[in-house]
Structure 1
C-alpha cells in the first residue's frame, strides 16, 4: 500500500515538474519584435503589436504587454522603430540557380537595344580566353526602343554579334528562357550550316523553330526545343561554379526578403547540390523543388521513392514540373487562334499532351503534385483537359491534389471557371503584366487581352488562390515590383493612368496573401508558414515603409530592411 502511495506521489511530482518546465520554456522567448505595424495575414487578427519567438517558432502574436511576458534576460529585442513587418515572402515560381548564374554570366535584363547586347558581348570577348563560350540571358526584343532594320519575323539577326565575336561562340538566352540567340561561331561549333543545302534540313525540330531569313539561312534565333541544337554543345558547368551561383542566389533572396522559394524544374545535379548544401547548413531558406519533367528516368525514380517532405522544412520535393508551351515574347505560347502579329502561327506544343496525361495519372497514384507551364490559351485548355481526365478516372486519389498551372497567363474565358471547379491552382507572376502588357496586345489583339489575359481578380473571385512570384531570372527577383503590378496593373513607369484592365487588380491584402499564405498553400505548407500565428515558423520580412498603406506612387520605393529566417536575422540593410 505504501509503495502504491509513494509511486502515485512520484508520478504527481514528475508531472508538476514537467509542467513547470514546459511553462518555463513556453514563456521564454529568444526573440521579441515590436514597434511598428505587423501584418499577420491571419484573418482572426490581421495586425498585432508584437511577436515572440522561441527558437524557430512563433510562441506569441498579439499585444505588446502580453508579449513581454515571454521576455527574459537573454531575449533579443528588435524594435521596428515604425518599420513594417509581414510573414517572410515566398517566391512562388522561379529558377533558383538561374538567379545565381545571372550574376555570373552576362545579365541583359535591362538592355533596351540590340546594340547594347553587341557592346556587352564585345566587352566580354576582351576578357575571355580564345574559343571560350560567352553566355548570358535577359534580352527581349519587344522591350527594345526599336528593332534593327534587318529583323526577321520580329527578331534580330546574328551578323553584328558575329562581327564582334568571330572566335568565341556566343549564346544568349531570351529573358523568357524560351528562345536563344547564337552567333556564327556558336552555330559552327554546333555543326550547323549557315547556308542551306538542298534536300537536307538540319534545323527542323519538333516543338521548336529555327528562325531563317528569305534565303533559308539561320538568323541565330532558336525558339523553344530548337535551342538544344546549340545548348547541347555548351560545356557543362563546374561544381565550383554551381556552388558560387548557389551562394549568390541565397544572398539575393535574403536581400529581397524572400525566405522560401518554389524552384520550378530541377534536375538530378541540382537536387544533389541542395542536399549537400542542406547537410552543410548552407541552405538558409525553404526550398520547394519541382522535379523536371524533361528527365523521365528521374521522374520514375521519384515515383519509386515517393515524395520527400522534409521534417526540418528546408528542402521538400513532392511535385513534378512539365513545360508544355513557350513564351508570348518569343511567340512560342500555344494559342487557340493565330498570333495577331504573325498570321498562320499558333506557337508550340513543347511537350506531348499524352505525356501530361500519363504524368497526371502517375502523380496521383504516387502522391505527387503536377505543376505544368502553360502561357497560351490552348496550352492551358489542353492541360486542364488532361488533369480532368485523371481526376475523373482516379476519384479516390484526387482529394487535395493541388495540381498547378504555372503562369496561366492567357486563358480562354470558358476555361477560367475550370480552375476552381477542378481545384487547380494558378501560379501567376504579376510582374509579367508590367513587362509584357504594352506589347502583348500586338500578339493577342484587344479582345483576347481584355477577356482572358492576367485575369487575377476573376480567378480569385471564382474561389482559387493565386501563387505569386517573378519567374526569376525571367524577371528580376525583387518581389516589390510584382506586388506593385498586382495592385496597380501598371508598367514600372506608372503607366497607364488607372492601369491595364483595372477590374482585374488585386487588393493589397490579396497581393500580400499571394506572396505568403496562398503561396504556402500552393506547396501544402500553409499550416507551418505563410502567416504570423502561434506555432508557425519564424520567417519574417521587414520593410522601410508600410507597403499596405503607402500611396500607390510610393509603393515601388519600398525596400527590405531586414530578413529573419528560422528565427535568425540573415540580412540587415547597411546604411
Structure 2
C-alpha cells in the first residue's frame, strides 16, 4: 500500500469562495478518522487521511488537520468522536428496480434445497392470496445438495392454481410451475428461441426451467407493476442502498418508461441518492433517446449518458458464451443473447452520438466479440475516449486481457461474483480458463480501471461484502483458506478506489463525486470501525452508522 499523505487543502482561494456565497448549511466536522482517494482517477490516485473537513451548500470546501476548525469559526461544529469517514460508496453495476421489486417478492436466496425454496413459495402464496402471479427471486441450484435444476412438479404440489415465476439469482433463468407453462403455451412442441433454452426432460417435455431469452415467452404475460408500484420499489431500494453506505449507483439497463419515472422523482425531490442509468439497448426509443443527447440534472442526482447491451448470459446457468465448450457440458458453448450482427449495429448506432457503451459480457467468447467490435469501430467511427465499459468481464481469454488497456476499456466488475462462483466456476471452465477469470490484479497492474459494484439483486448490495471479497478472495466464512486464486486479489486501497473515484470516472462524474475534495458534492459515510485497522477477514462486518448526500444526512442507524 502506498503511504498515506496528509491533506491540508484549505487555501485563500477556498476561503474567498466561502465568504462570497450565501451563509447556510455550513458545517465543520472534527475529530475524524478520514480516508479518501484523491484525484485523478486510476493509478495516479493517492490514498490520503484527514482529521477534519468542512461542508458548505452541499459541497466539500476544505479538509485537513485538527486546526482546520479554527478557520471556520461561524460554522456549526460536529465532533465525530474519532469515527472513520469514507467518501460515499458507488455501486457501478446494480439493478435498482429489480432490487426494490425483490424486496416485495419471495426471497429464495437463502434456500438450501429445492424443497426449502418450495416451502418458502408456499408460505408466501398463502400470505398473498390476492396476487394473480406468485413471483420470487434468488434460487441457486449450485447451493443445493443435488445441484440440479428444479422442476415445475415440485412447485405444483403446493401451488397449482396460480402461475409461479421464480427468477434465478443471476437473473438469467426462471423456474415456473405448470400453470405458468400453460398460460405461456409452452409444450413439448415449443422450440427454444434464439439465445434461449427451454429445458426439457428425456421425453421432450418442458421441466419448468427457462434459460435466458426463453423467459421472453413468459415475461410479457406477467402483469407489469404500475408506475406507483415502481416508485414504491425505487424508494425501498434507495433506502436499502443508503443504509449500506451507497450514495450513487449505475443502474444497468433501464427502459424509457423507467427513465421517465426517474426524471419525475428527481423533479419532485424524491431521489435521496444519485443514479447513473444505462439505457437498455432493447428500448424501441433508443435512437430518439440518443438523439436527445445526455441528460444531467444540476444537482447531479440523475445523469444519463450510456447504453447497456447484453452479449451473453450467465455462468451459473451455462448461458455465458464460451470459445470452447463447457467442461461439464461438452455440447454447450453458452448463448449469445444479442447476435454478433446486432451487437455491431448497436455500436454503429451509439458511438456517433457520444454515448458510452456498456456491454454485458461474462464468457470469453462474449468478451472477445465486444473487444473486436470496439477495435473495429474505433477505426471507422472513433469513440475511443467515450469510457466504454465491459460489464462483468468475468471470463476473459488470456490473450484478450491486454486489449482492455489497448482499447481503453473500463472493466466493470463485481468482487462478490468471484466468491459466489468459486464452487462452480472451475467445474464450468476447467483449470486452464481460470487464468483469465476474475482477473482483477492483472487488469489493475496493466493500468485498466476497474469500476466495482455488486450486480444487486444478483448479489447482496452491501459494498463491504465487495471490499472484503476483493481483498481476501474469500467468502464470509473465510473459505477457501488463503483465498480463491489469491494472486488476483486487490489491496484495500485498490478496492476502495474501485468503489469510489474509479467508479465515478466510469460514470463521467469524477470531477463532482467519488472523493472527499474541495468542490465535490459532500457525499460521505460514517463507519463503526476502521477497515484499514482491522483484520481483512472482518471487513465485511463493517456497519454504516450515517450516510450523507450533498451534506444532508439521509440515513442514521440510531
Length-normalised TM-score, structure 1 = 0.91
Residue 48 of structure 1: aligned partner: 50
**In structure 2, distance between residues paired with 1:21 and 1:478:** 37
Question: Map of 1:278-427 to 2, 5 A cutoff?
Answer: 278-295=266-283, 297-395=284-382, 398-427=383-412
C-alpha deviation, 1:310, in angstroms: 2.6
C-alpha deviation, 1:519, in angstroms: 0.1
Q: Is the 8 A contact 1:130 1:168 kept in 2?
A: no
Alpha carbons of structure 1 residues 71 and 276: separation in structure 2 relative to 1, 3 Å: farther
3-state SS, counterpart of residue 290 of structure 2: helix
Q: Is the 8 A contact 2:32 2:50 kept in 1?
A: no
Q: Is the 8 A contact 2:91 2:453 kept in 1?
A: yes
C-alpha deviation, 1:269, in angstroms: 1.6
**In structure 1, distance between residues paired with 2:131 and 2:290:** 42
C-alpha deviation, 1:24, in angstroms: 5.5
C-alpha deviation, 1:553, in angstroms: 2.5
1:161-193 per-residue CA deviation (whole Å, 9 max, x = no partner) reads 111001011000000000000000111111223
Aligned partner of 2:72 among 57, 70, 73? 70
User: CA RMSD of the aligned region, Å?
Assistant: 1.7
**In structure 2, distance between residues paired with 1:364 and 1:165:** 48
Q: Is the 8 A contact 1:433 1:491 kept in 2?
A: no
Work out whether 1:484 is the aligned partner of 2:468.
yes
**In structure 2, distance between residues paired with 1:20 and 1:486:** 42
**In structure 1, distance between residues paired with 2:360 and 2:69:** 44
When the two structures are aligned, how many residues end up with a matched partner? 538
511-520 or 491-500: bigger deviation: 491-500
Structure 2 unaligned runs (5+)? 1-14, 39-44
1:313-357 per-residue CA deviation (whole Å, 9 max, x = no partner) reads 111110000011000000000000111111110100110122222
Q: Is the 8 A contact 1:109 1:475 kept in 2?
A: no
Residue 544 of structure 1: aligned partner: 528
Work out whether 1:277 is the aligned partner of 2:265.
yes
Work out whether 1:185 is the aligned partner of 2:192.
no
3-state SS, counterpart of residue 404 of structure 2: helix
**In structure 2, distance between residues paired with 1:249 and 1:21:** 36
**In structure 1, distance between residues paired with 2:115 and 2:476:** 23
Question: Map of 1:215-294 to 2, 5 A cutoff?
Answer: 215-294=203-282
Based on CA coordinates, which of the two structures has the bigger radius of gyration?
A: 1
C-alpha deviation, 1:29, in angstroms: 6.6
4+ long deviations beyond 6 Å: 26-29
Q: Is the 8 A contact 1:172 1:180 kept in 2?
A: yes
118-127 or 96-105: bigger deviation: 118-127
**In structure 1, distance between residues paired with 2:295 and 2:178:** 45
**In structure 1, distance between residues paired with 2:123 and 2:25:** 53
**In structure 1, distance between residues paired with 2:348 and 2:267:** 33
**In structure 1, distance between residues paired with 2:99 and 2:314:** 19
Q: Is the 8 A contact 2:53 2:68 kept in 1?
A: no
